[in-house]
Amino acid sequence: MTGFIIRVNLSGIEEIFVRSSIDGTDQPSFFWRCNDHRDLPLLVGLHTWSTDRYNQVKSFYPLALKNRWHLLLFEFRGPNLNTNPRATEACASKIAMQDVIDAIEKIYYIAKVDKKHIFLIGGSGGAHMALMLAGYRPELWRSVASFCPITDLAPGIVKTRITLRTSKRAAVAHHVLKRLKNTEIVLLFFADSIAKCKQVYIYHGKFDRSVPFTHSLNIFKKICEIDPKANVFFEIFIGHEMIIERAETQFICAASKNSTITG
């Protein structure tokens, strides 16, 4: 099979490289295969803006292991830092989003995947990417969990909310500001597509000091204006965090045949 390389990690998590359908480069990710004779759900986990595919192993691997789901931890063109030589291809660019789709399609060849139950999860910058992917391919996901997403990338927001106390964050802000010239990363433009998803939950902390909860509230209101019947929900909690148990319940209910609410 062309365009697919696997390196096995001793922990049972495979390091895989999938060839991009856009520029032909081999893009890395981690994959954990749950061996079973049945087709099983696939959990796709996304890293935060300033990190890489290693970022969420400790968060998402136990979740996949416990529920017997395959796990794909994708590195979408690396961190949004000026130290990343491919940073201009990151931040939910079209090429980065297509990389994730390419990887999922290759996973079908090496694991028994229930294509009707593909779950997507991310926090902070990964939550931004999760919602972008929800809009990019709304028909693909059974359920999407987005924790504390950055949804408004207007220059003023970036400068006041993502600028830095440290040089690292300054690098993030500088990179994002350069990417703003490309409107494909502006989430509000994807609201109509997100409304077509089977299920999307947006979670945010009311007292989030990194990304104000109004980021989530505004995209939720926009989606509801477009389609009041869209299966998009908004839940509020305390701070800037992921509550894995809430995502787990969400995905289990989505996979259940008896998930309809009755009175």
Q: Determine, yes or no, domain membership for 134.
A: yes
Q: Determine, yes or no, domain membership for 263.
A: no
Task: Report the C-alpha gap between 101 and 95 in whole angstroms.
Answer: 10
Identify the top-confidence range among 43-47, 53-57, 155-159. 43-47
pTM above 0.85, yes or no: yes
- Tell me: pLDDT of 258 over 90: no
More confident site: 259 or 113:
113
How many domains does the structure of the chain reveal? 1
Q: Determine, yes or no, domain membership for 68.
A: yes
Q: Determine, yes or no, domain membership for 76.
A: yes
- Tell me: pLDDT of 159 over 70: no
Percentage with pLDDT > 70 across the chain: 79
Instruction: Quickly state the pLDDT bin for 49 (edges 50, 70, 90).
Output: confident
Q: What is the pLDDT at residue 173?
A: 52
Q: Determine, yes or no, domain membership for 262.
A: no
More confident site: 84 or 38:
38
- Tell me: pLDDT of 201 over 50: yes
Q: Determine, yes or no, domain membership for 198.
A: yes
Q: What is the pLDDT at residue 16?
A: 86
Q: Which whole number is the average pLDDT over 127-134?
A: 93
Q: What is the CATH number of the domain that holds 12?
A: 3.40.50.1820
pLDDT in tens, 227-249: 999 999 999 999 999 999 999 99
Domain region containing 249? 4-255
pLDDT, mean over the chain: 83
Q: Determine, yes or no, domain membership for 188.
A: yes
Q: What is the pLDDT at residue 156?
A: 43
pLDDT in tens, 207-219: 998 888 999 999 9
Three state DSSP letters for the chain: CCCEEEEECCCCEEEEEEECCCCCCEEEEEEECCCCCCCEEEEEEECCCCCCCCCCHHHHHHHHHHHCCEEEEECCCCCCCCCCCCHHHCCCCHHHHHHHHHHHHHHHHHCCEEEEEEEEEEECHHHHHHHHHHHHCCCCCCEEEEECCCCCCCHHHHHHHHCCCCHHHHHHHHHHHHHCCCHHHCHHHHHHHHCCCCCEEEEEECCCCCCCCHHHHHHHHHHHHHCCCCCEEEEEECCCCCCHHHHHHHHHHHHCCCCCCCC
Residue 45 Rama label (left phi>0; alpha psi -120 to 50; beta): beta
More confident site: 249 or 172:
249
Burial 29-48 (b: 16+ CB within 10 A, else e): bbbbbbeeeeebbbbbbbbb
Q: What is the pLDDT at residue 164?
A: 42
Q: What is the pLDDT at residue 227?
A: 96
- Tell me: pLDDT of 182 over 60: no
Q: What is the pLDDT at residue 263?
A: 35
Token reading at 2: 């062309």
Q: Determine, yes or no, domain membership for 210.
A: yes
